[in-house]
Amino acid sequence: MPSQACAEARALVASAHRITVLTGAGVSTDSGIPDFRGPAGLWTRDADAGRGSSLQAYLADAELRRLAWRAKLDSPVWTARPNAAHKALVELERSGRLRTVVTQNIDGLHQKAGSDPHRVLELHGTLHATVCLGCGATGPMRDALKRVAGGEQEPDCPRCRGILKSATISFGQELDGEVLRRARLAALDCDVLLVAGTSLSVQPAAGLVSLAAKAGAQVIICNAEPTPYDAVAAVVLHEPVGDVLPDLSSVPPSGGGRFSSWGDPSTWS
Note the pLDDT of residue 3: 72
| Model pLDDT for residues 100-147, shown as the tens digit of each residue | 999 999 999 999 999 999 999 999 999 999 999 999 999 999 999 999
Which of 227-246 are b and which e, b meaning 16 or more Cβ less than 10 Å from the residue's Cβ? bebbebbbbbbbbbbbbbbb
Compute the average pLDDT of residues 32-58: 65
The Cα-based distances of 63 to 70, 145, 171 in angstroms read 11, 17, 18
Place 2 in a pLDDT band, splitting at 50, 70 and 90: low
> Is the pLDDT reported for residue 202 higher than 70?
yes
Residue 261 has pLDDT above 70, yes or no: no
In this prediction, residue 45 has a pLDDT band, given cuts at 50, 70 and 90, of: very low
Residues forming the active site: 124
160 is in an annotated binding site: yes
6 is in an annotated binding site: no
Domains and CATH numbers, the chain: 1-33+82-123+177-256 (3.40.50.1220), 39-79+125-168 (3.30.1600.10)
pTM equals 0.89
